[in-house]
A and B are shown apart, each in its own frame.
Chain A
Amino acid sequence: MDYAIQQGLNALAFGSEYALIALGLALVYSIMNLMNFAHGEIIACAGYSMYLAILIGIGSPWLVAPIAIAAGALVAVLFERIAFRPVRHAPTTTGLLTALGVSIVVQNLLTLLISPRPRAVPVFSELSRTIFIGPYAISLLQLLELAVVALAIGGLVLFLKHSTLGLAIRAATREFSTVRLMGIRANRVIATAFALSGLLAGIAAIFIIARRGSIDPTFGFQPVIKAFIACVIGGFGSLGGAVLGGMLLGFLDVAIIVLLPQEYGGLRDAIAYSIIAGLLVWRPEGLLTRRIELGDKEI
């Protein structure tokens, strides 16, 4: 029983991390049909901002965490301004490949400027404690992660429901040029979506750092691949789908670890990707599909 609860919590923590990253991808995708492969590098840059903060002597986690979040948002907006704006109206494939290019550029920049090898970021070591709730030993980090992700998602929902820009982002998922006809600046809507996705990436970076304790240039790659898959499973562009897909993937990961005999551990990926491919063949548009309409996406 104890084991089951522990694994359930594990799955929730993994899932919420994937969901957080997937939400960022879905936000950007929903308004400009861009599969932002460079999202992983936003996470990496947020991570390196923590490394640099410590390097210049900022040691308090209470300062480092906001720096990471701000760095995530800033980098996301910069990517949009520099790389994605020129290809905004291009076909999906062009955007996807641009994002891949950005991802490669930033990874190699980090390699060149900092180091190809992992660097220690020991700022959140406090969090790797175990606390006891009743009879259960629970990782403080996981608990915190669940709470923060819930808060972040809640905040995002409030923003999307009540602020004008939030409404505009939701409206732009289907009717981008009509949003412009409301006098709302397209650039602001897109920049806001990127900033939000960067914020979420920054939060994710904090928890990944807290778990790993170090960072390297390919830091964001693995989580973002997972988040991508979460998006595709959930239905690309659907925010609810991103969360659902992320959670599902978290449970899938843990289930594979728990159920797969030790000696086949290397097949984790093979099994996960087979299931993913199977899901996509079964439902190419994802589980929570955004209904395809003849909107005005060309403009």
Chain B
Amino acid sequence: MLSVNRLSVHYGPIRALDAASIRIGRGEFVALLGPNGAGKTSLISGIAGLVRAQGRVLFEDREIGALPTEDRVRRGLTMTPEGRHVFANLTVAENLRLGAAIRRDREGVAQDIEKYLGLFPILRERNHQLAGTLSGGEQQMLAIARSMMSRPRLLMLDEPSLGLAPRIVAQMFDYISLLKEAGVTLLVVEQNVMQALKHADRAYVISSGIIRHEGKAEELRSDRRLIDMYLGN
């Protein structure tokens, strides 16, 4: 579904990502693991087109590397940025509406809003509150629901567990697994290695801008040496 070939990202003279290649099959849940500053966010930002990147990005067999972010999203590839990037000065309902900005089927949109308010009941309670007043976990739920409103086929999540209490982290991964069951292909950036490997099918390990390892989630989970070397816990 997604095939990234030798993607590099530079910030001025600093090379954040060095010729990274990954592949994701339809319906897979792939985790992208690595320490802070390893280049995880650079990789998915490059795939989403938010930062300038060299290399090839094939999505559903079409080269999208030259397209602006907006067009990639319109083709069904989207990204939920890390942490608090909800539209803080808009209400929850307005956030969700903007999530569906590219859709023309009003009824479908209304149904989807109902669906995600059902999945995240707390959002229904806070429907008319400003998103900036939500807690960290609620904002994360909103960000995911908002991304889902565009009906992406591939969703990239940047650190969905960042800053959340451990109990909520587990809950968040349950939600993410629900998305996979709904047929969405997932690429999830995580520092919370164990949680991610518990739910993912496959994982890439990245450090210093280079993809170091790739493998099945359960194999990686038992590979203490690898985890110690790159993931540090």
Contact of A173 with B69 in the complex, beta carbons under 8 Å = no
Shortest Cβ distance from B49 into A: residue: A180
> Of the candidates A171, A181, A296, which one forms a contact with B73 in the assembled complex, judged by CB atoms under 8 Å apart?
A181
Q: Is A186 an interface residue (CB 8 A)?
A: yes
**A181-B81, A183-B102, A184-B101 known; A167 vs B69 contact (CB < 8 Å):** no
Of B13-21, B86-94, B208-216, the one touching chain A = B86-94
Q: Is B4 an interface residue (CB 8 A)?
A: no
Contact mask for chain A residues 159-203; partner B; CB cutoff 8 A; 1 contact, 0 none = 000001001101101110111111111100000000000000000
Shortest Cβ distance from B84 into A: residue: A293
Q: Is A299 an interface residue (CB 8 A)?
A: yes
In the bound complex, residues from chain B placing their C-beta under 8 Å from that of A164 are: 97-98, 101
Interface residues of B in 48-65 (CB under 8 A from A): 48, 50-51
Contact of B73 with A180 in the complex, beta carbons under 8 Å = yes
Contact of A183 with B70 in the complex, beta carbons under 8 Å = yes
Q: In whole angstroms, how far apart are the Cα atoms of A179 and B90 in the complex? A: 12
Contact of B89 with A170 in the complex, beta carbons under 8 Å = yes
Q: Is B150 an interface residue (CB 8 A)?
A: yes
> Of the candidates A167, A185, A186, which one forms a contact with B98 in the assembled complex, judged by CB atoms under 8 Å apart?
A167
In the bound complex, residues from chain B placing their C-beta under 8 Å from that of A296 are: 81, 85
Contact of B89 with A183 in the complex, beta carbons under 8 Å = no
In the bound complex, residues from chain A placing their C-beta under 8 Å from that of B51 are: 299
Contact of B69 with A171 in the complex, beta carbons under 8 Å = no
Contact of B88 with A183 in the complex, beta carbons under 8 Å = no
Shortest Cβ distance from B85 into A: residue: A178
In the bound complex, residues from chain B placing their C-beta under 8 Å from that of A168 are: 98, 101
Contact of B89 with A173 in the complex, beta carbons under 8 Å = yes
**A168-B98, A174-B87 known; A183 vs B150 contact (CB < 8 Å):** yes
Contact of B87 with A185 in the complex, beta carbons under 8 Å = no
Q: In whole angstroms, how far apart are the Cα atoms of A177 and B102 in the complex? A: 16
Q: In whole angstroms, how far apart are the Cα atoms of A58 and B222 in the complex? A: 82
In the bound complex, residues from chain B placing their C-beta under 8 Å from that of A181 are: 48, 50, 69, 73, 78-81, 147
> Of the candidates A170, A174, A180, which one forms a contact with B50 in the assembled complex, judged by CB atoms under 8 Å apart?
A180
In the bound complex, residues from chain A placing their C-beta under 8 Å from that of B94 are: 167, 171
Interface centre among A175, A177, A182, A299 (most CB of B within 10 A): A182
Contact of B97 with A167 in the complex, beta carbons under 8 Å = yes
Q: Is B68 an interface residue (CB 8 A)?
A: yes
Min CB distance B72 to A, Å, is 9
Contact of A178 with B89 in the complex, beta carbons under 8 Å = no
Q: In whole angstroms, how far apart are the Cα atoms of A111 and B48 in the complex? A: 47
In the bound complex, residues from chain A placing their C-beta under 8 Å from that of B48 are: 181
In the bound complex, residues from chain B placing their C-beta under 8 Å from that of A180 are: 50, 68-70, 73
Q: Is B128 an interface residue (CB 8 A)?
A: no
Q: In whole angstroms, how far apart are the Cα atoms of A109 and B123 in the complex? A: 55
Contact of A182 with B102 in the complex, beta carbons under 8 Å = yes
Q: Is B46 an interface residue (CB 8 A)?
A: no
Contact of A167 with B50 in the complex, beta carbons under 8 Å = no
Interface residues of B in 104-150 (CB under 8 A from A): 146-147, 150
What are 9 contact pairs spanning A and B, CB under 8 A? A167-B90, A167-B98, A168-B98, A171-B89, A177-B81, A181-B50, A181-B78, A182-B146, A183-B102
Closest 7 CB pairs of A and B: A183-B73, A183-B102, A171-B87, A180-B69, A185-B70, A178-B85, A184-B101
- 18 more A-B contacts (CB under 8 A) besides A170-B87, A171-B87, A182-B150? A167-B90, A168-B101, A171-B90, A177-B50, A177-B69, A179-B87, A180-B68, A180-B69, A180-B73, A181-B48, A181-B69, A181-B78, A182-B102, A183-B73, A183-B74, A186-B68, A299-B50, A299-B51
